[in-house]
Amino acid sequence: MLLFCYMFPSMAQPIDKTARLPIDSAAADIEQIVKDKIPDHVTLVGIGEVAVFAKEATQFNTALAAYLIAKKNYRHVLLMEDEWTLRPLNDYLTGAAAVDTSVMNSLIRLYMDGYQRSVQFRSFLIWLKKYNSRHPQAMVDLSGIEVNTSIPPSYFLTAYIVPADRAGGIRLGRKWADKFYSDSSAFKDIEAWHRQALATPSLFGKNKELILRCGEDIEHNKAVTKVASLTQILPKEELDRKMNYTVSSILHKLGKHAILYASNKSIVKSDVRSNRIANGEPVASLGKLLYHKLSGSYYACATGFADSANLLIASVAKAKAEPTVLYGTMETKRLILQKDHFFMPADSVYIKQYRPSTISFFFEYPVTMVPDGDLIAVDALFLFPSLTTADIIPD
């Protein structure tokens, strides 16, 4: 194994050591690394994970997010989760209740996708809760931008219809109580109620925020792609449609400076190829679409590793996840001999042609980044000598 620790040029501290510090200390280190390299006109920073449950990358990336929040006034954290499922967690993060690790664990188990269910990411959420408690006039929101699951009729009933129109809610509740009444029929009722609410001044005037959010959730359900199994092959057109909806959702939330916390494959400015996409066609990454919408206002920070990564990788065929050793690319091995962090344009000689990588959680479905001509895939790159598995919060 190469002794990377002896090969770094002189620097304040290697980023893998920064990653091991408490969040506030790590954020202070990151401030010295980043300084003024992320331009002030940037309104959305994409922070990419090279792999699911990679401890060091998560520790560093959450500290980077904390730096942007505390020092650069970023006020919105966007996750690749469904918006409606994250609302209870965001209510807790922005509410008056005291910090409680057991409550946080319960909220993470109930409302977050398994990919973020680590002790390391929980530390960031606890930090965020404490930050909001200290800054009640400048709280940071957490929200989702994915469209993975449909919002059930019961949610619309209790969150929107009954609070705004009790009589209408009771009527629909009784109607849906029939065990033979389908969800598709209930969704038609919800759309009809929403149209009527919009057209009724007395109802809309008193419940404007609720009714508008109800409309957003109706559109969310329309955008959900029906996936029957993990092995289903998806047409490019369907993925493009879903991605464009996600872009619109992000742009809608950009009243505040925001952080997009996701995988490398989502935040980089390139095309993506996967054997789950019909005919092997590449699709534009979320980051590439955001770049074209926001141009210089979008900034992509990716992570990588040079030597080895000992991570949990799942097999669909085996129906389980197992520790697996993976190895860095020749490109990352070469780059880390120079240093462990790079920024455009100062480091263009190193990363202008860099081809980012991402490790798929599912062994059978690797993802490949496909460069798009002269478009530079990343604005910043952070490299670790090695990665280990995060501490996962059990069910």
Q: In this predicted model, what pLDDT tens digit does every residue of 225-257 receive, in sequence order? A: 887 777 788 888 888 888 999 999 999 989 889
**Pick from 304, 264, 259, 343: which is nearest to 34 by CA?**
343
Structure confidence at residue 151 (pLDDT): 96
pTM summary value: 0.93
Tell me: pLDDT of 291 over 50: yes
Q: Which residue has the higher pLDDT, 116 or 202?
A: 202
Alpha helices (runs of H) in the chain, residue ranges in sequence order = 15-18, 23-34, 55-72, 83-93, 101-111, 119-134, 153-156, 162-164, 166-176, 183-199, 201-206, 208-223, 236-252, 264-267, 286-294, 330-336, 348-351
Share of the chain above pLDDT 90, in %: 77
State the chain's mean pLDDT as an integer: 92
Distances (CA, A) of 201 to 211, 214, 368, 388: 12, 16, 52, 57
pLDDT classification of 3: cutoffs 50, 70, 90: very low
Mean pLDDT of 318-332: 93
pLDDT classification of 9: cutoffs 50, 70, 90: very low
- The length of the chain, given as a count of residues: 395
Q: How do the domains of the chain map onto residue ranges?
A: 4-149+230-388, 153-223
Mean pLDDT of 207-218: 96
Structure confidence at residue 395 (pLDDT): 78
Structure confidence at residue 116 (pLDDT): 85
pLDDT classification of 1: cutoffs 50, 70, 90: very low
Span 4-149+230-388: which CATH code?
Answer: 3.40.50.11550
pLDDT in tens, 160-178: 999 999 999 999 999 999 8
Mean pLDDT of 200-204: 95
Nearest 10 degrees: Cα torsion 248, 252, 255, 261 = -60
Using only C-alpha atoms, the chain has a radius of gyration, in whole angstroms, of: 22
Dist CA 23 CA 189 (whole Å): 48
Q: Are 303 and 285 in contact (CB under 8 A)?
A: no
Burial 39-76 (b: 16+ CB within 10 A, else e): eeebbbbbbbbbbbbbbbbbbbbbbbbbbbbbebebbb
Structure confidence at residue 276 (pLDDT): 81
Q: What secondary structure letter does DSSP report for 98?
A: P
Dist CA 380 CA 377 (whole Å): 9
pLDDT in tens, 350-388: 999 999 999 999 988 889 988 888 899 999 999 999 999
Tell me: pLDDT of 202 over 70: yes
Share of the chain above pLDDT 70, in %: 97
Bridge partners (DSSP) listed for residue 323: 312
Label residue 155 exposed, middle or buried (CB < 10 Å: 0-12, 13-18, 19+): middle
